[in-house]
Amino acid sequence: MKDFYQIIGYEFKDTSYLTEALTHSSYANEMHKKLRCNERLEFLGDAVLSIIVSNYIFLNCPQLPEGELSKLRASLVCEKSLAVYAKKIGLGERIMFSKGEKRMGGGERPSILADAFEALIAAIFLDGGIEEARKFVLGFVVPDIQNPKNHRAKDYKTTLQEIIQKNPEEHLEYVLVSETGPDHNKHFVFEVHLNSNVIGKGGGKSKKEAEQQAAREALELMGY
């Protein structure tokens, strides 16, 4: 694990936290041992991530009103962003899956990567405290905020609506395709339809996030 410690910039004192963070529910179920999967840590990590990001952008983006702060935070902690962060540290290769889940490419699925990344945040928080967790999180978040090419804070739904409104006969509709997971860890998938044609699809931990990601894909396909 020494190489992984170097990658994440933190060395665990109690490695059981890291083991739990890297244990997918499929592996825990397959092993039939008293193994804890990372779902509880993911729950805690979500809260730790939110407070760290909220505190940082509140202090460092004084020009932004509340609504813009909310949009910026949502763009930084959404499933898509967390999955990108997870890939940067090769997290998918470290997660322990059942044989079936591994064959199905679980280590590449954005929802699994995002959950594991949040679980890792919680593991660092429990093992090293809030400052170590803050250092880890901001190592990913700050470059994103400072990157002038980062447009992920954009309200994709509004942008898409403004484009479509130029043609009054066109009709946009967001359709819920699937809703999976327990109440504390839901995953929603939405399609955005233009006159009954699917022009985008996206997923997220809330309906709003999934709709935004569907709109983002639609805009990309339209060349925006």
| Active-site residue, selected from the candidate residues 39, 42, 79, 118 | 118
Beta bridge partners, 180, equal 187
The answer to whether residue 101 is catalytic is no
| Active-site residue, selected from the candidate residues 46, 115, 209, 211 | 46
The answer to whether residue 46 is catalytic is yes
Structure tokens belonging to residue 140 = 């990913």
Alpha helix stretches (DSSP H) within the chain: 2-8, 15-21, 25-31, 39-60, 66-77, 79-88, 99-103, 110-128, 130-146, 156-164, 207-221
CB 50 within 8 A of CB 34: no
Q: Estimate the share of the chain in helix, then strand, then coil, as percent rounded to the nearest 5.
A: 60, 10, 25
Distance CA 65, CA 58 (A): 10
Q: Tell me the catalytic residues.
A: 46, 118
